[in-house]
């Protein structure tokens, strides 16, 4: 049984250049160390998922890993909170709701 | 917060019956009384539907009840079955049955014993072996050696029941006074309840105060032993709808269900930290890990999911785990209904029976084993 890991958020390192990823297939760019939520907001993407009940729009809300409203799915990793997860180069990011069916 | 005293010594309001406690017992009691034409005031120390009624995991299980409470859980289901119609809102009632699972031969023996007792009391349930479980519920771990299945288990959403029930109670004419902490209860010609929101008078009083019932009963000189559990519940992120049933465990240490949005609710009475006096109810992570490991052991597919939140809530527990329901010892006009193991399941019935008792002195179901005076001669 795996134990919970401590999470360390490095923060943005603009001098280390850019990373490239996709959100729902759309190419996006972020800085090394930048959170997914930050990179998506700069790309003008605010809607990160829709609720199963009522199909309501959800996105970045608390900004500190509490509310899970900004959850997204990263291919090969799983569902993460985009506000506290740095984007990695080449990652395919998509809507999270119902992710485990993927 | 102290200091919000009653503005003056005059009476704020009066009714035939005052109900103290705005949880599931109190609201259904008040509804029963109001529908019979009585004037009712509910006094609630914080907000209506804010403690155990609201923060429990929503199980409407019969299989996990003590044998003596099985008939009451089945009677309660007669009310739950039509609850959405009665309250005029979808309150998420589902009755797709439940599995109670065992991982060892010793646990399987417990299942068999409970099955015999519960069947004798009218529960429809059957024993399944490992192969039958695999065929019916392939999402349950192959480690599970035995289970019982009852089509009578289910669940509802406490989050949806609360507001709908409140609207129903208010529409029935009940006066709801929130943030009215009770400071004193005096018996003169009538019953006088002094609160932080004023003074209220009534001919009869009902205490439906759950974990707080020992304190309230003590205000009128009655001994009502209640101990405190601080139960933890966790909710996962939404997942593909896979689990139609409620899952419980032979040793009573797990409840699990996947609700309408795809999230799984995980409980089972694992203990958090806190007391009523310090108003604390926090997660004990050392305990929570065991709760979640057990859930993943029963349903391995859960291990892919994030837990979004865990929380804890108070549950008042009586020495024999049967609820209190009846007149308080030493009183002729102060009643009590509180502290059922599985209070969300039993709440509508317990509230209704208390209402019947207050109205007519009799109840439609037997309540002898719930006598609030049954421990009054026991020294602590």
CATH number at residue B332: 3.50.50.60
Helix axes B24-35, B343-360, angle to 10 degrees: 40
What's residue B305's pLDDT? 94
Give dist(CA B218, CA B224) in Å, integer: 8
Is B86 inside any structural domain? no
What is the per-residue pLDDT across B139-186, written as a single tens digit (0 to 9) for each?
Answer: 999 999 999 999 999 999 999 999 999 999 999 999 999 999 999 999
Both B221 and B259 in one domain: the answer is no
For B361, the 3-state DSSP assignment is coil
Is B352 inside any structural domain? yes
CA B324 from chain centre, in angstroms, equals: 12
* Selected residue of A100, A101, A102 to mutate for chain B interface (largest B Cβ count, 10 A): A100
Both B145 and B243 in one domain: the answer is yes
What's residue B380's pLDDT? 52
What's residue A25's pLDDT? 95
What's residue B189's pLDDT? 86
Identify the CA nearest to A37 among candidates A76, A67, A5: A67
User: In A, which residues are within 8 Å of B262 by CB distance?
Assistant: 52, 97-98
Choose the closest CB to B238 out of A1, A78, A97. A97
What's residue B236's pLDDT? 96
pLDDT at A16 over 90: no
Give dist(CA B320, CA A73) in Å, integer: 48
Show the CA angle centred on residue B132, arms to residues B270 and B95, nearest 5°: 55
Both B233 and B364 in one domain: the answer is no
Both B259 and B147 in one domain: the answer is yes
The tokens describing B101, both together, are 């699972």
CA-to-CA dists, residue B211 to B51, B250, B313, B320, angstroms = 9, 26, 10, 15
Identify the CA nearest to B321 among candidates B304, B338, B297, B301: B338
Q: What is the CATH number of the domain that holds B312?
A: 3.30.9.10
Which residues does chain B have with pLDDT short of 70? 1-9, 379-380
What's residue B113's pLDDT? 96
Both B231 and B254 in one domain: the answer is yes
What's residue A55's pLDDT? 85
Asked if A100's CB is within 8 angstroms of B305's CB, the reply is: yes
CA-to-CA dists, residue B336 to A45, B29, B222, B369, angstroms = 55, 10, 11, 14
What's residue B3's pLDDT? 46
Contact B104, B158 (CB under 8 A): no
Identify the CA nearest to A98 among candidates A84, A85, A83, A79: A79
Is B88 inside any structural domain? no
Of the pLDDT bands very low, low, confident and very high (cuts 50, 70, 90), residue A101 is: very low
Is B29 inside any structural domain? yes
Give dist(CA B377, CA B356) in Å, integer: 27
Both B299 and B166 in one domain: the answer is no
CA-to-CA dists, residue A76 to A18, A68, A80, angstroms = 21, 19, 11
- ipTM at complex level: 0.78
A17: distance to nearest CA of chain B, Å? 31
Asked if A71's CB is within 8 angstroms of B293's CB, the reply is: no
Is B83 inside any structural domain? no
What's residue A102's pLDDT? 41
Both B146 and B167 in one domain: the answer is no
- Domain A16-101 fold is Ubiquitin-like (UB roll) (3.10.20)
pLDDT at A8 over 90: no
Contact B189, B119 (CB under 8 A): no
Choose the closest CB to A98 out of B239, B260, B306. B239
Identify the CA nearest to B52 among candidates B278, B311, B331, B370: B311
Choose the closest CB to B239 out of A51, A68, A100. A100
Task: Please state the domain count of chain B.
Answer: 2
Give dist(CA B41, CA B151) in Å, integer: 38
Both B150 and B255 in one domain: the answer is yes
Burial environment of residue B56 by CB neighbours within 10 A (0 to 12, 13 to 18, 19 or more): buried
Contact B30, B24 (CB under 8 A): no
What is the per-residue pLDDT across A39-59, written as a single tens digit (0 to 9) for each?
Answer: 999 999 999 988 887 888 999
Both B238 and B285 in one domain: the answer is yes
Of the pLDDT bands very low, low, confident and very high (cuts 50, 70, 90), residue A14 is: confident
Beta pairing partners, B198: B195
User: In B, which residues are within 8 Å of A6 by CB distance?
Assistant: none
pLDDT at A100 over 50: no
Instruction: Domain of residue B247: give its range.
Output: 95-154+227-317
Give dist(CA B64, CA B82) in Å, integer: 22
Both B232 and B149 in one domain: the answer is yes
Give dist(CA B119, CA B126) in Å, integer: 9
List the domain boundaries for chain A: 16-101
Q: The tokens 């309540």 sit on which residue? A: B367
Both B306 and B195 in one domain: the answer is no
What's residue B368's pLDDT? 97
SS3 content of chain A, % helix, strand, coil (to 5): 15, 30, 60
What's residue B10's pLDDT? 84
Is B85 inside any structural domain? no
Choose the closest CB to A1 out of B261, B293, B301. B293
Is B70 inside any structural domain? no
> Which stretches of A1-102 are assigned E, i.e. beta strand?
18-23, 26-31, 49-50, 57-58, 71-74, 78-81, 92-95
Is B3 inside any structural domain? no
Both B260 and B145 in one domain: the answer is yes
Give dist(CA B297, CA B29) in Å, integer: 40
What's residue B378's pLDDT? 73
């Amino acid at each position: 049984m795996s134990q919970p890991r401590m999470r360390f958020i490095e923060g943005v390192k603009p001098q280390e250049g850019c990373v490239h990823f996709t959100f729902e297939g759309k190419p996006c760019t972020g800085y090394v160390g930048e959170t997914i939520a930050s990179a998506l907001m700069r790309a003008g993407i605010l809607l990160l998922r829709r609720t199963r009940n009522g199909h309501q729009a959800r996105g970045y809300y608390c900004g500190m890993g509490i509310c899970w409203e900004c959850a997204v799915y990263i291919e090969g990793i799983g569902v993460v909170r985009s506000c506290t997860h740095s984007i990695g180069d080449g990652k395919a990011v998509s809507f999270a709701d119902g992710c485990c069916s993927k | 917060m102290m200091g919000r005293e009653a503005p003056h010594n005059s009476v704020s309001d009066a009714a035939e019956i005052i109900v103290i406690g705005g949880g599931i017992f109190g609201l259904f009691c008040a509804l029963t009384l109001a529908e019979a034409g009585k004037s009712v005031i509910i006094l609630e120390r914080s907000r209506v539907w804010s403690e155990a009624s609201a923060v429990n995991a929503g199980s409407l299980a019969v299989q996990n009840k003590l044998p003596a409470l099985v008939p009451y859980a089945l009677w309660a289901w007669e009310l739950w079955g039509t609850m959405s119609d009665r309250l005029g809102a979808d309150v998420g009632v589902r009755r797709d049955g439940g599995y109670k699972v065992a991982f060892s031969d010793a646990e399987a023996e417990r299942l068999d014993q409970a099955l015999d007792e519960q069947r004798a009391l009218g529960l429809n349930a059957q024993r399944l072996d490992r192969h039958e479980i695999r065929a019916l519920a392939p999402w349950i771990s192959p480690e599970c050696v035995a289970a019982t299945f009852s089509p009578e288990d289910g669940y509802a959403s406490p989050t949806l029941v609360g507001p709908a029930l409140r609207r129903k109670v208010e529409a029935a004419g009940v006066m709801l006074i929130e943030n009215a902490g009770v400071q004193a209860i005096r018996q003169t010609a009538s019953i006088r309840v002094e609160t932080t929101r004023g003074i209220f008078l009534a001919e009869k009083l009902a205490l439906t105060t759950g974990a707080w019932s020992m304190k309230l009963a003590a205000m009128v000189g009655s001994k009502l032993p209640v101990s405190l559990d601080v139960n933890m519940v966790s909710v996962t992120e939404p997942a593909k709808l896979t689990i139609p049933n409620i899952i419980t465990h032979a040793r009573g240490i797990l409840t699990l269900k996947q609700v309408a949005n795809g999230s799984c609710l995980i409980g089972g009475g694992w203990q958090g930290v806190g007391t009523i006096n310090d108003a604390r109810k926090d997660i004990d992570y050392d305990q929570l890990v065991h709760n979640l490991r057990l859930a993943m052991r029963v349903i391995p597919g859960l291990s892919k999911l994030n837990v979004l939140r865990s929380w804890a809530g108070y549950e008042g527990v009586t020495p024999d785990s049967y609820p209190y329901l009846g007149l308080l010892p030493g009183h002729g006009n102060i009643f009590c209904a509180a502290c059922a193991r599985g209070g969300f399941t039993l709440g509508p019935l317990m509230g209704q029976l208390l209402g019947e008792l207050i109205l007519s002195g009799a109840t439609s179901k037997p309540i002898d084993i719930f006598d609030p005076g049954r421990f009054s001669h026991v020294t602590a």
